[in-house]
Amino acid sequence: MERPAWAPRSIDVSVPSVSRMYDFYLGGSHNFEADREAARTAMEHMPGLPKIMQANRAFMRRAVRFAVEEGITQFLDIGSGIPTFGNVHEVAQQADPGARVVYVDHDPVAVAHSQAVLQGNDTADVVAGDLLKPREILASPQVERLIDLNRPVALLLVAILHFVEDADDPYGAVAELRDALAPGSLLVLTHAAFEGGPLPQERAEGVVDVYKNIRNPLIMRSRDQIARFFEGYDMVEPGLVPMPDWRPDTVTGDEDPYAFSGFAGVGRSA
């Protein structure tokens, strides 16, 4: 199997990765045949997966602009994935050139590619880290250099929590991050769900099986279970809603039905 020059030597290119599958859905080029094969299998069950990923990214960009409008210029993006068009640092620094961004991911391709993209950008950096080890992330030299934890931070957990099983206590990790960030910080979150999408649950479960087969379980939570991640936060209007319904730039009414799969919300810590 051909190993591209940008692929870190340490990775097994025959094992699919969630972040490289996401890159494929978005039309990126940093993925391998194993990723494309798994993604295509998932799309046989749910053809609208690319639309869901696009809705995720579009929500993320609106939420970043909202954060800057609220005076928040520090961003911690955990589970950031492989940089594609319209990344957090691009959106944030366009809105405020002084914005600072730290990306966190545990996929070596995502980290290596982020380092390449961020070369020469002194106000954005990347950490190889794990959401389930918040203290290690917060104590990293990159966070210490760029983020003042005494001032509000926008914490982005976009399309990551549905890859964390309840047994690994995602609620505990999110609460630990909340408690470490200054009051007035924002939690920006999206999460997959069976609710809202155009497919019956039985059919959508085929996608869950694909991720189970690549040992990256996809955990579909209910709206109430997703809302629990916002404990200790006041929800920003319009609350926890399908992604296209969160402060849309324009209301066209012709949004793809798949874009409504899952939920998005922003909360502000008291």
- pTM for the whole structure: 0.94
**Residue pLDDT, tens place only, 183-231:** 999 999 999 999 999 999 999 999 999 999 998 999 999 999 999 999 9
Domains of the chain and any CATH numbers: 53-199+220-269 (3.40.50.150)
Contact assessment for residue 30 and residue 17, using Cβ atoms and an 8 Å cutoff:
no
**Residue pLDDT, tens place only, 145-181:** 999 999 999 999 999 999 999 999 999 999 999 999 9
CA angle 238, 169, 179 (to 5 degrees): 60
Q: How many CA atoms lie within 13 A of 69 on its CB side?
A: 6
Please tell me the distance from the alpha carbon of residue 199 to that of residue 52, in angstroms, as a whole number.
13
Nearest to 218 by CA among 21, 12, 15, 10: 21
Cis peptide before 238 (omega within 30 of 0): yes
